[in-house]
Structure 1
Amino acid sequence: MFLTTKLAEGVHLHIRQTTQFKTVNFSIKWRAPLNQETAAQRAVLSNVLQHSNGKFKKSAEFRSYLDDLFGTVLYFDASKRGSEHTVLLNVETVNDQYLAHNKVFNEVLDLIHTAIFNPNFENGQFVPSIVEREKEMILHRIQSIFDDKTRYAQYRLNQIIRPNHPASISASGTLETVEQVTPESLTKAYESMINEDRIDIYVVGDIDVEAVQKKLTESLPFKDRTPKQPEQTTNESKPEREYTKEQQEMKQGKLHIGFSTPVRFGDEDYPKMQIFNGVFGGYAHSKLFMNVRERESLAYYASSSYNSMYGLVFVVSGIEPSNEKKATDVIYEQLEAIKNGEITDLELAQTKAMLINQLKESLDLARGQIEIFDQYKNLNEPFSVDTWNERWQNVTKEDVQKMAEQVKLEAVYFLCGKEA
């Protein structure tokens, strides 16, 4: 799917030559071990790099230049996956083949070089006023979680179910760790990212592979590095209590339940767990939606998700506070039904169809191809739609039943109004 070459120790370039798109897409990912302090530094750093650099000191100048490059899109962001924190740079630009003067590609490469290697420094470090401005943006982003009750409930459940664990660490850090960011600390974080992070560079488009390899080697002069490895969490932290109820000024209740499973991404049973989640609550045909919401009318919404990096299954639902016990009971009933093998042929077939359709839809986008390859490349096998379709098709009702038997309740979190 992608042709991979090593540009330097710890730095890899992945190119997919395809006539599928009229644009060329770049994605550069810097990865380091995830923790609260560095997450805050790197989240602020992604914002600072996004809005100015040594050539374009003001955000308006930067945006104007991108518009001149036929609407080229360039943005930095911060995210996490498993025990790693990622700063990413995504760029999408028109392919020179569709232009008269055929220069945009090289200009975009120069701009990527500028955005990465020529930061907006003042006296050898980031400009204090810009750092403070972008800190405020990250603080607002974190604060917004407290205003969105569904996100807040999931945030609290993560804290309860896996305290002091990557699962409960935000990619943006905390209000406290963001406040501690200074121009000096941010400059050190930038230097560490450029010189020490593991880096993956992706390019997708109708391009000359050898020419792009040569140009990127010149444009992105990353040096050899020995990336730091995330600490292996051998003992999973456990919730201090199984049930937590909190009250705020609100009307709709948020019932969030966390389960654990020993099955992780890359395990032999991983496709079976994906099918289990689809049957349980992953889609509109799933048991949670059809029974908690449709049959019993106990929830405004009810669904499940499977975080394969942490081995966690979450159920989220919005309910009337008076329906808490009944809704909880019906949710547990759906899990028990799967454990008892009560799975219809239609539920199984629809789940398999949804999984393959989601995968194909993702591959219709250049960004989707990058993200899927970026994740699945760690399995050390060639990725193909046919391979995963076959794995899903081979999953039986008995397989799903066995997955359900391994799912264990960890904690329940209920957020509701003060009158409840």
Structure 2
Amino acid sequence: MFQTISIAKGVNIHVNQTTQFKTINFSVRFKDRLTKEKASARSILANVLQHSNEVYPSHTALRMVLDDLYGTSLYMDSTKRGNEHIVTLNVETVNDEYLSETGVLEKVMNLMYIVLFKPNFEDGLFKPSIFEREKSSIKQRIESLFDEKTRYAQQRMLEHALPDHPASISPNGTIENVESITNELLVAEYRNMIEENEIEIYAVGDIQPEVVSAYISEYFHFGNREKPAAAPLSELKKPKEPHVLEFEDMKQGKLHMAFYTPITFRDEKFPIMQLMNGIFGGYAHSKLFVNIREKESMAYYVSSSYASQFGLLFVLAGIDANLEEKAVKLILEQLDEVKKGNISDTELDQTKALLTNQMKEALDSARGQIEIYDQYMELSHSFAPEDVITRWKNVTKEEIAEVAQDISLEMTYFLSGKGEDLNE
């Protein structure tokens, strides 16, 4: 799918030359170790670099040049995956081959260079008004989590269950961490990102790998960087409290359950766990949805999700406060059904079909191809989607029941409305 070219130690270019799209998509990914402090600093940094630079100091000025480049889109974001924090520059532009004008790609490369290498500095620091504005923006982003009670409840559960674990670190860090970031610290983080981070650069479109490599080498003078020592495996320790009850001013109760599994993304049984999650609660035909929401009509929503980087399985349900005990009992009964191998042909076949369709749909977009390859590249540089689909196809009910045996409930967290009678 992708051809890889190394242009410096720790800096790789991955190109999928394809006529599938009329645009060219770029993704420049800076990867560093995940900590609360780095998450906050790098989230602010992504905002600062996106919205202002030396040549185009305002968002309006940048927007105008993007419009002139046939509606090129450019944005930066920050996220986490496993033990990594990732800052990404994403660009989508028209392919010169479909224009009467030439040189658009080179202008886009120059713009990417400006965004990354020409910050809006004033006396060696980021322009104070820009720094303060984007710092405030990240604080507001973190604060907005409180208004989305399902996400808030999930974060609170993780903080209780795994307080010092990467799984509980927000991609934006915390309000306290954001407030502690000074302009000087942000400049230091910027230098670290440009000079020391591992960098993976992706390009998808009808363009030759040699051409991409030449442009990147010409505009982005990335030097060698040492690959950091592998982060130690983050051990899943038993929570201090197996059950936590908290209250907020809200009507619908939020039930969140954390299960541990020894199978992670790097395990050969990972595809089996994907199917197990789909059958258990990942889709509308799953056991949780059919038996708890449809048959029992006791959940506004219910589903499971598999955080494969950490070996975590979550169940989320919206229920009335007085139904927590009954809901937990029913959820565990559905898990027991999977452990016993009581899986219908329909459940298995539909889950395989949906996972396959999701993979194929992702491959229909350039951004999806980049996301999939960037993740699976951790396992093999010769990754082929067909191999994953074939692996799903060959999984049996017995294999699914086997991996389910080692899934254990470690915490139940319930976020209830204030003043509700939980014993009604």
TM above 0.5, one fold? yes
Compared CA separation, residues 381 and 66, structure 1 to 2 (3 A): closer
Identify the residue that residue 289 of structure 2 maps to in structure 1: 289
Identify the residue that residue 272 of structure 1 maps to in structure 2: 272
For 2:32 and 2:3, how far apart are their aligned partners in 1?
Answer: 24
Query: Which amino acid counterpart does residue 339 of structure 1 have in structure 2?
Result: K
Query: Which amino acid counterpart does residue 392 of structure 1 have in structure 2?
Result: W
Query: Which amino acid counterpart does residue 150 of structure 2 have in structure 1?
Result: T
What is the DSSP-based 3-state SS (H/G/I as helix, E as strand, rest coil) of the residue aligned with 1:232? coil
Query: Which amino acid counterpart does residue 262 of structure 2 have in structure 1?
Result: P
Compared CA separation, residues 233 and 384, structure 1 to 2 (3 A): closer
TM-aligned CA deviation for residue 209 of structure 1: 2.4
Identify the residue that residue 221 of structure 1 maps to in structure 2: 221
The answer to whether the Cα contact below 8 Å between 1:260 and 1:311 also exists between their aligned partners in 2 is yes
Identify the residue that residue 167 of structure 1 maps to in structure 2: 167
TM-aligned CA deviation for residue 138 of structure 1: 0.3
TM-aligned CA deviation for residue 390 of structure 1: 1.2
For 2:236 and 2:248, how far apart are their aligned partners in 1?
Answer: 30
What is the DSSP-based 3-state SS (H/G/I as helix, E as strand, rest coil) of the residue aligned with 1:14? strand
Q: TM (normalized to structure 2)? A: 0.97
Identify the residue that residue 155 of structure 1 maps to in structure 2: 155
TM-aligned CA deviation for residue 266 of structure 1: 2.1
The answer to whether the Cα contact below 8 Å between 1:27 and 1:203 also exists between their aligned partners in 2 is yes
Identify the residue that residue 180 of structure 1 maps to in structure 2: 180
Compared CA separation, residues 250 and 234, structure 1 to 2 (3 A): closer
For 2:217 and 2:114, how far apart are their aligned partners in 1?
Answer: 15
Identify the residue that residue 408 of structure 1 maps to in structure 2: 408
Query: Which structure 2 residues correspond to residues 389-404 of structure 1 after superposition, within 5 A?
Result: 389-404=389-404
Q: TM (normalized to structure 1)? A: 0.98
Deviation beyond 4 Å, 4+ runs, structure 1: none
For 2:236 and 2:325, how far apart are their aligned partners in 1?
Answer: 29
The answer to whether the Cα contact below 8 Å between 2:72 and 2:94 also exists between their aligned partners in 1 is yes
What is the DSSP-based 3-state SS (H/G/I as helix, E as strand, rest coil) of the residue aligned with 1:419? coil
The answer to whether the Cα contact below 8 Å between 1:34 and 1:230 also exists between their aligned partners in 2 is no
Query: Which structure 2 residues correspond to residues 212-251 of structure 1 after superposition, within 5 A?
Result: 212-233=212-233, 235-251=235-251
Query: Which amino acid counterpart does residue 296 of structure 1 have in structure 2?
Result: E
For 2:134 and 2:228, how far apart are their aligned partners in 1?
Answer: 27
TM-aligned CA deviation for residue 397 of structure 1: 0.6
For 2:370 and 2:245, how far apart are their aligned partners in 1?
Answer: 40
TM-aligned CA deviation for residue 386 of structure 1: 2.0
The answer to whether the Cα contact below 8 Å between 2:234 and 2:310 also exists between their aligned partners in 1 is no
CA deviation string 1:255-274 (max 9, x = no partner)? 00000000010211101000
For 1:3 and 1:222, how far apart are their aligned partners in 2?
Answer: 19
The answer to whether the Cα contact below 8 Å between 1:249 and 1:417 also exists between their aligned partners in 2 is yes
Identify the residue that residue 310 of structure 2 maps to in structure 1: 310
Identify the residue that residue 71 of structure 2 maps to in structure 1: 71
For 1:386 and 1:208, how far apart are their aligned partners in 2?
Answer: 24
Q: Which moved more, 1:210-219 or 1:173-182?
A: 210-219
Query: Which amino acid counterpart does residue 97 of structure 1 have in structure 2?
Result: E
Percentage identity across aligned positions? 52
For 2:237 and 2:4, how far apart are their aligned partners in 1?
Answer: 37
CA deviation string 1:189-217 (max 9, x = no partner)? 00000000000000000113222211111
What is the DSSP-based 3-state SS (H/G/I as helix, E as strand, rest coil) of the residue aligned with 1:299? coil
CA deviation string 1:48-83 (max 9, x = no partner)? 001011110111101111111111110110000000
CA deviation string 1:321-358 (max 9, x = no partner)? 12211111111110011111110011000000000000
CA deviation string 1:231-273 (max 9, x = no partner)? 3035333311000010111000000000000001021110100
What is the DSSP-based 3-state SS (H/G/I as helix, E as strand, rest coil) of the residue aligned with 1:12? strand
